[in-house]
Structure 1
């Protein structure tokens, strides 16, 4: 196995079990490893630190896998990691929920691998050269452990370009998923389109937060922005919301939401769907003098990296300022950020600026986070990407 030696003083992150080492920390490489190859990482004193995937095309040149020198990174190692990840989610799946995230990249010691379960189908995202090199082994293990009807590749994410990988999508094994897979989450039915849907097909990371928010919606008027397939919409209606207005710019989202409303038997007079840019639509509502009891703001990732943080902060502030104008006195705002570069304290500050500009007082009722099938390793805070606030706007 090829040795990669770090510069003096650069071994601290590896010793603290952080899974990333940037290219600038590397002193020398004995040999020429292929991108995705497993290498041995050593300190400047030649002491063993970890085994890692190597990639000279990525700023994260080393993705650390294993800190025990006596453990081999072979098929049995991958099998153990996958079995452990799947077993830890077993209790999440039940009669009311048959969809969840089974593997969450670094959190499950498999950097660059995401596996989502949608009923009898699996959706994979392969985001590192190291995982791509062992993809066939991973598929074989998943087949053995889960016996799915089909495994679909959704590795079309922009993150692949950082590893010098082309985006790919298509069937990896088994049956081609139907246009709409029917799944159940918290007793609510959803039609999921893996091939054309966003990310891996469905945002199961909001499962717990949808239920929390729904408790505030009984007999209330709700505005669900960036609604996608209707998670907050459907949970609100199930809990007795008087009316829900759902806004998204995607035609596919509107089509999927329509299917989901029909699946769950909600009548047309309980809900209105609007295909529009959310920021523009919020301004239209303000001009029309419309107000709501409950508002959900769950936008896409505004800050894909720290370099985009300032621009993202302005976007989050403007969005929340517009939203606060539409809430009745004492109304509830559920606002989220899925940008890993925006930590919770920064997000709170952004909301404070939005409240000041909107001329509203705001109370924090609860803090939202990602669910247990999206765990955060204590040594890898970057994995804590989803955060949100449940606010009362006065």
Structure 2
């Protein structure tokens, strides 16, 4: 096995079991490992630190896998890690919910691998060169452990570019998923499209937050922004919202939402769908002097990296300022960021700036997080990407 030797003093993160070794921390590579090959990482004094995937095309030059020297990184090792990750989610799946994330990359000691379960189908995202090399082993293990009808590849994320990998999408094994797979979450039925849907097919990371927000919507008028397939919309209608207006720029999202409304038997009189840029639509509502009792702001990732943080902060601030201006006095707003570069304290500061610009007083009622099938390793805080606030605007 090829040795990767760190510079003196650069072993601290690895000793604390953080899974990333940046290229600038490396003193020497003894040999020419293939990108994605497992290497042995050593401190400057040649003491063993960990095993990991090497990739000289990535700023994260090594993604650490295992800190025990006597553990071999082989098919049995992958099987044990996958089996453990799947078992830890077993209680999430029940009669009310048959979709969740089964593997969450570094948080499950499998950097660059995401596996989502949608009823009888699996969606696979491979975002590292190391996982790409063992893709066939992973498929065999998932078949053995879960016996799915089919496994679909959604490795089309831009993150693959950082590993010098091409985007890939298509059937990996088994049956081709139907145009719509029927899944249940919180007792609500959704038809989702794996091939054409965003991310891995469905935003299961908002499962708990949808239920929490819905508790505040009975008899209320709700504005669901960036509604996608309608998670917040459908949960609000289930809890008795008087009227829900749903906005998304995607025609497919609006079409899918309308389909899901019919699946659950909700009256069309209680819901209005608008295909529009959200910021533009919020300004239209403001000009019309429209008001809502509850607003949901669940935008896409505005800050893909720390270099984009300032620009993203301005975008989040303006979005939230507009939302606050559309709320009835005492109204409730659920506002989210899925940007890992924006931590909770920064997000709170952004909301404070938005309140100041809007001339509003704001109370924080709850803090939102990602659900337990998106765990955060204490040694890898970067895994905590989803955060949100439930606020009352006075």
State the match for 1:112 in structure 2: 112
Compute the RMSD of aligned alpha carbons.
Answer: 0.3
Report the alpha carbon displacement of residue 311 of structure 1 after superposing the two structures with TM.
0.1
State the match for 2:87 in structure 1: 87
State the match for 1:349 in structure 2: 349
Report the alpha carbon displacement of residue 218 of structure 1 after superposing the two structures with TM.
0.1
- Specify the SS of the correspondent of 2:39: strand
Written as runs of structure 1 = structure 2, the 5 A alignment for 1:156-167 is 156-167=156-167
- Specify the SS of the correspondent of 1:61: strand
State the match for 2:140 in structure 1: 140
Give deviations 1:102-154, integer Å, cap 9, x for gaps.
00000000000000000000000000000000000000000000000000000
Name the CA distance, whole Å, in 1 between partners of 2:92 and 2:81: 18
Report the alpha carbon displacement of residue 174 of structure 1 after superposing the two structures with TM.
0.3
Give deviations 1:307-344, integer Å, cap 9, x for gaps.
00000000000000000000000000000000000000
Q: How many residues align?
A: 394
Unaligned runs of 5+ in 1: none
Name the CA distance, whole Å, in 2 between partners of 1:373 and 1:94: 14
Give deviations 1:209-262, integer Å, cap 9, x for gaps.
000000000000000000000000000000000000000000110110011000
Post-superposition, which runs of at least 4 consecutive aligned residues in structure 1 deviate over 2 A?
Answer: none
State the match for 2:70 in structure 1: 70
Give deviations 1:36-71, integer Å, cap 9, x for gaps.
000000000000000000000000000000000000
Name the CA distance, whole Å, in 1 between partners of 2:26 and 2:389: 40
State the match for 1:169 in structure 2: 169
Name the CA distance, whole Å, in 1 between partners of 2:105 and 2:182: 25
Unaligned runs of 5+ in 2: none
Name the CA distance, whole Å, in 2 between partners of 1:179 and 1:257: 15
Name the CA distance, whole Å, in 1 between partners of 2:80 and 2:66: 12
Report the alpha carbon displacement of residue 298 of structure 1 after superposing the two structures with TM.
0.1
State the match for 2:6 in structure 1: 6
Name the CA distance, whole Å, in 1 between partners of 2:259 and 2:147: 28
Report the alpha carbon displacement of residue 202 of structure 1 after superposing the two structures with TM.
0.2
State the match for 1:29 in structure 2: 29
Name the CA distance, whole Å, in 1 between partners of 2:283 and 2:164: 41
Name the CA distance, whole Å, in 2 between partners of 1:299 and 1:307: 19
State the match for 1:209 in structure 2: 209
Name the CA distance, whole Å, in 1 between partners of 2:179 and 2:359: 46
- Specify the SS of the correspondent of 2:60: coil
Name the CA distance, whole Å, in 2 between partners of 1:234 and 1:47: 55
1:239 is aligned to 2:239 = yes
